Structure 1
Amino acid sequence: MEDVRALNQYSCITNLPDNLLDLIYGKVNEQDDQQSFGLTCHSFLKVQNLGKKHLHVRNYRSVRDSRMLDKLLSGFSKLQDLSFSIILSYQESVSDTDIIKLQKCGSTLQRFSLTNCGQVTDKGFISIASYCPLLSVICLVGCSITDDGLGLMAKSCKSLVEVNLSHCNNITLCGIQYLSQNCRQLKVLKVKIVSYFQNIGVGFVSVASYCPLLSVICLVGCSITDSELEILAKSCKFLIEVNLNTCINVSDCGIQYISQNCRQLRALKIRNCKNVVGVGFRWCSSNLKILYASCCALDSTDVIEILRGGGLEYLSFSWPVNERMFIGSIDLANLKVLDLEGCKSIEDDAIVSISKGCPLLRDWDLSWCGRVGLRGWESIGLYSQNLEIIHVYRCARLCNKGLLCLGNGCKRLSVIWMGSGGTEITSNGITAFKLQRDDVNINDKFGTGIIFPSWRFTWPFKELQLAQEVEHFI
């Protein structure tokens, strides 16, 4: 009789204890089924939340006003990723008092993100260090952390492998030194400074000395020099991604040090580096897949040298400082994306060469390339059979016939970013194009241009993008 009573006790699945429901939930593989699991009853919802590993809080006001944060964190006993992001300046931000509540889930937390949470002071960051000893990734974009707070965090969280300090303008070279001396496993470091003249570059000499495993470094707006870059490149030979955007003190010598010493380099971004003409690229290996060289003083000879590696898949020469920069033959069999926006001197001969030499090209930006004429557009239609997206904003010599050439030849074409003017195309020309290719979207707005996958190779986390991985949003 007792056995029957015990059986009846669990005759309904909702009467099962939490540990058994947790086992059932663990067997649910489909994401839609996982999301629906908690809609069944309160017991299922509790188990679903207990199994959550990712939490992204975007609307913090609703959590705080209803005093739900304590209860919320208590329900996530297995939480590994936590993110608070403030997108709009008037939104209420997380404070030190709220950060203290991390003691409820901090023992399992591995990745933590605070974006634009300016109300969190060093006191809050010290709490993070105390409650989250397993942290391996931390993103503090736009936070007010100082060198002292970063130093204490580095001493407590020695397992950090990825740190994002972009727009943390209270951090100086001392903070970078604290971080590198305590976190020897560091592989990803990102720093972006609003003021381009802060003397933080020498701090990366410490990074080079203590973090030889570094694979990704972002130095946007830092005052790093060629000599400091040499030390970094010779010590961190495993670098695969380097971002030198607006590092105005870097010249071709610094680029050469990176090219010669970091033979696994896959992605390199430089912008507003007017001392870079391209000589340093001569030593780049075939491992280089992404090169973003915008607003630099590249000349014709060095452009040819850049292309000799042969392995490039994504290439940008947009808005060269030298407007007369000549782009000749580009023969890159693996090239998929090419950004020539603002290359005002490019002409039909170059377009014909690129069309023939880059058969896999699928996204091509020719905005503001006013010298490309009918022969250039004909060659794109004839040879660029894999082209899917083309940007032709302000291409002054693009006419109705040229547009039809694109439609007749590029069978995979899906989007033309044309803008609202600046070409010779008429309404009749667009009508004629639509009659033959109604599957192509002619966008009359100015597009945002090509988005390069600058950090697609990051080990092991890609970039801290919790919003793409979360299982629960608020």
Structure 2
Amino acid sequence: MRGCDWINTSLPDELIVEIIRRLDSKSSRDACSLVCKRWLRLERLSRTTIRIGATGSPDLFLSLLATRFSHVRNVHIDERLSISLPVQLGRRRGSDASSVSSLKPRSVTSKSGSENGDYDSFCLSDSGLAALGEGFPKLEKLSLIWCSNVSSGGLISLTRKCSLLKALDLQGCYVGDQSLAAVGQCCKQLEDLNLRFCEGMTDTGLVEFALGVGKSLKSLGVAACSKITDISMEAVASHCKYLETMSLDSEFIHNKGVLAVAQGCPHLKVLKLQCINVTDDALKAVGASCSSLELLALYSFQRFTDKGLCAIGSGCKKLKNLTLSDCYFLTDRGLEAIATGCKELTHLEVNGCHNIGTMGLEYVGRSCQHLIELALLYCQRIGNDALLSVGRGCKFLKALHLVDCSGIGDEAMSGIAQGCRNLKKLHIRRCYEIGNKGIIAVGEYCNLLTDFSIRFCDRVGDEALIAVAEGCSLQHLNVSGCHQIGDAGVMAIARGCPRLRYLDVSVLQNLGDVAMAELGEHCPVLKEIVISHCRQITDAGISHLVKACTMLESCHMVYCAGITQSGVATVVSSCPNIKKVLVEKWKVSERTRRRAGSVISYLCVDL
């Protein structure tokens, strides 16, 4: 019946909150909050996560948020992100004008010339942490990223009020041992701790922390903490028996610390190491003791050889994910041990390991039939036979990344295309032996492909792109630097891939307005486009593009000689959802700057 409010009169608060909570987008929830005051209040109750960037008066901002969103469980504060409140916040009836105006961002430099005082107002302080603890006593996850003005005292006061904390990220915070010990004493349910660039931490604090939360801790990350050594790792091994994830990036941790963790934490599933002083002995201990290990990432290791990898292959039968980055002394023998011993492997990345070649990948193709994702980066010794073996044996492969692999050509790509027909993501960069023949095979056989990137591959032209357009329904395409691609290939993509959302055609000298018109006509859901360094595209092409692509959110168009102030103004005025336009400063008129200055980014700034 018209005029009757059946929802508000019939549904209780709890049911409306549950309905709002199940909405899958922020815009939908925001729309619900505008229906009436009751829905606004209930929508606030449904919020469990808040993300905050750098703001003016963050302490007061947090106090205000605490009064409005009482059920928040997760708070993420990242002062690297430059996010400010609108300059004109307005004034609502019945609101406190003084509290609203005080939230407006202030200038960093005061009239007296004192920069530090006003700069501190942009940084979260101990007062803000106190407000956080008072306002969100049921807090479970807290991230304080580069909050440089927070001290141990503030963190201690927060932990005493938020005893239910389960995850804490202190990246870049200069807090000391006392605060870490307090976390261990007060937060007995803590499961996840991340210490990255925490220069104030020493072994004393981490040892006390391990004593306090040993029964609950499951994940620990330590990076660039020069005063944390093997002593801390031994304490973790002694008290944190249920640890599942360990990430270490340190030149001050040696075999002794990793050995202790491997032998003392039998439930370890994830291990990431970037420790230049760790050798084969540590990896042998991991292979012997960590039978539950599922993910292993080794970065910049120059002091261990195939012996360590052979121990992993022999003992870690459940390993599914392996990353080897800049491990110069590993050879095909080590990869053979992994392939034959860890047959459940689903993800493999080999990055800059110059002594691993074709034979090692052939073993992977023969033995790892469950492989889903393969990344080969800067692998000059891997040739066609390696990918032919992967194509024959890894039928479930869904993602392939190739960067600077000069030995891989059309033969390999044809083998992958014919054998791995479940491929959904294919990223190739600077593989100069791959040409039309290999990519045509991809278009013919890989009909599930949705994410395709082929950058700076000079032998790939329109013929290949036409084949991909006929066989695949792409959503993401990057062909930047492929100089043989022009209007014909991009027009085919426009007609064959109506669900295209992202397109990068930068540095294509033969691409012009005709292709832009086809994209505008056939790709209505396009959200991001990069046309930088495309000299043939003019204002007319841009006009055709944005006429139908009303969902466009990002447009990069630097060094496009044919695009003028008029073209920039057309993009800004025709795309209601536009969030970023990257362009030269001199191409933005004063009127466009006034109208959409917040979405315009410049390639260069005035010095």
The TM-score range, normalised by the shorter chain, is 0.7 to 0.9
Please show how residues 88-103 of structure 1 align to structure 2 within 5 Å.
Answer: 88=81, 92-103=122-133
* 3-state SS of 2:230 partner: coil
Tell me, yes or no, if structure 1 residue 177 matches structure 2 residue 210: no
- TM superposition shift of 1:349: 1.7
Question: Which of 473, 478, 494 is 1:443 aligned to?
Answer: 478
Tell me, yes or no, if structure 1 residue 190 matches structure 2 residue 221: yes
Question: Which of 336, 348, 363 is 1:315 aligned to?
Answer: 348
- TM superposition shift of 1:183: 1.2
Counterpart for residue 35 of structure 2: 40
Question: Which of 73, 85, 110 is 2:66 aligned to?
Answer: 73
CA deviation map 1:119-141 (0-9, x unaligned): 11112111212221221211111
Counterpart for residue 459 of structure 2: 424
Scaled by the length of structure 2, the TM-score of the pair is 0.65
* 3-state SS of 1:72 partner: helix
- TM superposition shift of 1:442: 4.7
8 Å CA contact 2:448, 2:473 repeated in 1: no
Q: Which blocks of at least 5 consecutive residues in structure 1 are unaligned?
A: 1-10, 447-474
* 3-state SS of 1:398 partner: coil
Of stretches 49-58 and 200-209 in structure 1, the one that deviates more from structure 2 is 49-58
8 Å CA contact 1:14, 1:44 repeated in 2: no
Question: d(CA) in 2 for partners of 1:435 and 1:159?
Answer: 52
For 2:270, the aligned partner's letter is E
For 1:230, the aligned partner's letter is L
Question: Which of 45, 48, 55 is 1:50 aligned to?
Answer: 45
Please show how residues 1-400 of structure 1 align to structure 2 within 5 Å.
Answer: 21-22=13-14, 24-26=16-18, 30-31=22-23, 35-58=30-53, 60-61=55-56, 67-88=60-81, 92-184=122-214, 185-193=216-224, 200-244=229-273, 246-280=274-308, 281-296=312-327, 297-308=329-340, 309-322=342-355, 326-327=359-360, 328-330=362-364, 331=366, 332-400=368-436
8 Å CA contact 1:22, 1:51 repeated in 2: no
Question: d(CA) in 2 for partners of 1:278 and 1:158?
Answer: 41
Question: d(CA) in 1 for partners of 2:12 and 2:421?
Answer: 56
For 2:291, the aligned partner's letter is R
* 3-state SS of 1:109 partner: coil
8 Å CA contact 2:16, 2:42 repeated in 1: no
Counterpart for residue 595 of structure 2: none
8 Å CA contact 2:125, 2:149 repeated in 1: yes
8 Å CA contact 1:25, 1:34 repeated in 2: no
- TM superposition shift of 1:434: 5.2
Of stretches 221-230 and 231-240 in structure 1, the one that deviates more from structure 2 is 221-230
- TM superposition shift of 1:381: 2.3
- TM superposition shift of 1:207: 0.4
Question: d(CA) in 2 for partners of 1:250 and 1:379?
Answer: 39
8 Å CA contact 1:363, 1:390 repeated in 2: yes
Question: d(CA) in 1 for partners of 2:181 and 2:324?
Answer: 35
Question: d(CA) in 1 for partners of 2:165 and 2:436?
Answer: 58
**Greater share of residues in helix:** 2
Question: d(CA) in 1 for partners of 2:29 and 2:428?
Answer: 44
- TM superposition shift of 1:15: 8.8
- TM superposition shift of 1:224: 2.2
* 3-state SS of 1:390 partner: strand
Q: Which blocks of at least 5 consecutive residues in structure 2 are unaligned?
A: 85-121, 482-607
For 1:303, the aligned partner's letter is L
- Change in Cα spacing, 1:274 to 1:20, as seen in structure 2 (3 Å) is same
- Change in Cα spacing, 1:377 to 1:68, as seen in structure 2 (3 Å) is closer
* 3-state SS of 2:351 partner: coil
8 Å CA contact 1:78, 1:105 repeated in 2: no
CA deviation map 1:232-284 (0-9, x unaligned): 1111000111111x211122221121122111111111110122323222324
For 1:132, the aligned partner's letter is C
- TM superposition shift of 1:99: 1.3
Question: d(CA) in 2 for partners of 1:431 and 1:53?
Answer: 45
Of stretches 183-192 and 84-93 in structure 1, the one that deviates more from structure 2 is 84-93
Of stretches 344-353 and 224-233 in structure 1, the one that deviates more from structure 2 is 224-233
8 Å CA contact 2:181, 2:205 repeated in 1: yes
* 3-state SS of 1:61 partner: coil
* 3-state SS of 1:305 partner: helix
Of stretches 207-216 and 110-119 in structure 1, the one that deviates more from structure 2 is 110-119
8 Å CA contact 1:394, 1:419 repeated in 2: yes
* 3-state SS of 2:148 partner: coil
- TM superposition shift of 1:208: 0.4
Question: d(CA) in 1 for partners of 2:430 and 2:209?
Answer: 47
For 1:131, the aligned partner's letter is K
- Change in Cα spacing, 1:443 to 1:51, as seen in structure 2 (3 Å) is closer
* 3-state SS of 2:429 partner: coil
Question: d(CA) in 1 for partners of 2:412 and 2:229?
Answer: 46
- Change in Cα spacing, 1:438 to 1:350, as seen in structure 2 (3 Å) is closer
- TM superposition shift of 1:93: 2.4
- Change in Cα spacing, 1:351 to 1:22, as seen in structure 2 (3 Å) is closer
Question: d(CA) in 2 for partners of 1:417 and 1:54?
Answer: 34
- Change in Cα spacing, 1:199 to 1:164, as seen in structure 2 (3 Å) is closer
- Change in Cα spacing, 1:278 to 1:445, as seen in structure 2 (3 Å) is farther
- Change in Cα spacing, 1:73 to 1:253, as seen in structure 2 (3 Å) is same
Question: d(CA) in 2 for partners of 1:395 and 1:12?
Answer: 63
Indicate the RMSD between aligned Cα atoms, in angstroms: 2.9
Task: Report how many aligned residue pairs link the two structures.
Answer: 428
For 1:377, the aligned partner's letter is M
- Change in Cα spacing, 1:403 to 1:230, as seen in structure 2 (3 Å) is same
Question: d(CA) in 1 for partners of 2:180 and 2:266?
Answer: 26
Counterpart for residue 459 of structure 1: none
- TM superposition shift of 1:417: 2.0
Of stretches 381-390 and 320-329 in structure 1, the one that deviates more from structure 2 is 320-329
Question: d(CA) in 2 for partners of 1:194 and 1:38?
Answer: 44
Q: Which has the higher contact order (CA 8 A, sep 6+)?
A: 1
